[in-house]
């Protein structure tokens, strides 16, 4: 009788362990080449509510922050470019657009102080919305940036390419951060 109880207990333990292993998710999915880099941008924090992706009174401004002078939206949130995009064409949809909400507008964006008006335009996204571009780069916010001045998305490798803060000339900023408080 003792052997039956021992065997039953061991079988139950194996079943529980097998069920737990079968239900776990390593977050992988990986890529065919097995070289995908995983980071916070690949799996945005579900407790973070992404910044609104559309603005009815849109403006692009320049602020001096962690990486020097860079583009921000009308609320001071950092704007990024995605190296995978081609000129005037976004390649960030679905999960990518959840982690990196496109800066879309319902009205013509205005150029704030330090912004070159001739570089500021919009493009039509595949979903029909209008995304702001600067020097041909579609602009995005990063869902893990919590407040104005945050630059958590700088130099992140996610969704097939890197993301960078944009300077007033419309180029990616690749320099190291300035020392100091890191905000505006």
Model confidence at 91, pLDDT cuts 50, 70, 90, reads very high
Average pLDDT of the residues of the chain:
78
d(CA 79, CA 65): 12
* pLDDT for 138 beyond 80: yes
Q: Which pLDDT score, from 0 to 100, does residue 163 have?
A: 98
Q: Which pLDDT score, from 0 to 100, does residue 57 have?
A: 62
pTM of the prediction? 0.69
Q: Which pLDDT score, from 0 to 100, does residue 75 have?
A: 94
Distances (CA, A) of 145 to 21, 50, 84, 178: 34, 8, 21, 18
* pLDDT for 135 beyond 50: yes
Q: Is 82 exposed, middle or buried (0-12, 13-18, 19+ CB in 10 A)?
A: buried
Kindly state the tokens that stand for 94: 């679905």
Model pLDDT for residues 2-44, shown as the tens digit of each residue: 444 433 344 444 333 343 334 434 444 333 333 333 344 444 4
């Amino acid at each position: 009788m003792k052997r039956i109880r021992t065997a039953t207990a061991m079988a139950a333990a194996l079943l529980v362990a097998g069920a737990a292993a079968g239900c776990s998710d390593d977050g992988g999915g990986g890529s065919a080449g097995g070289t995908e880099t995983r980071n916070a941008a690949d799996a945005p924090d579900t407790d973070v509510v992404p910044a609104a992706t559309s603005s009815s009174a849109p403006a692009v401004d320049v602020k001096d922050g962690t990486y020097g002078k860079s583009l921000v939206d009308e609320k001071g949130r950092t704007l990024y470019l995605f190296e995978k995009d081609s000129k005037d064409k976004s390649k960030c949809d679905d999960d990518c657009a959840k982690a990196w909400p496109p800066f879309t507008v319902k009205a013509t964006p205005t150029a704030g102080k330090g912004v070159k008006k001739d570089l500021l335009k919009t493009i039509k996204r595949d979903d029909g919305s209008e995304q702001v571009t600067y020097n041909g780069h579609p602009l995005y916010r990063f869902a893990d940036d919590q407040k104005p001045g945050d630059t958590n998305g700088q130099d992140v490798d996610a969704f097939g390419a890197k993301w960078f803060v944009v300077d007033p000339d419309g180029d990616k900023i690749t320099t190291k951060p300035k020392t100091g408080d890191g905000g505006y």
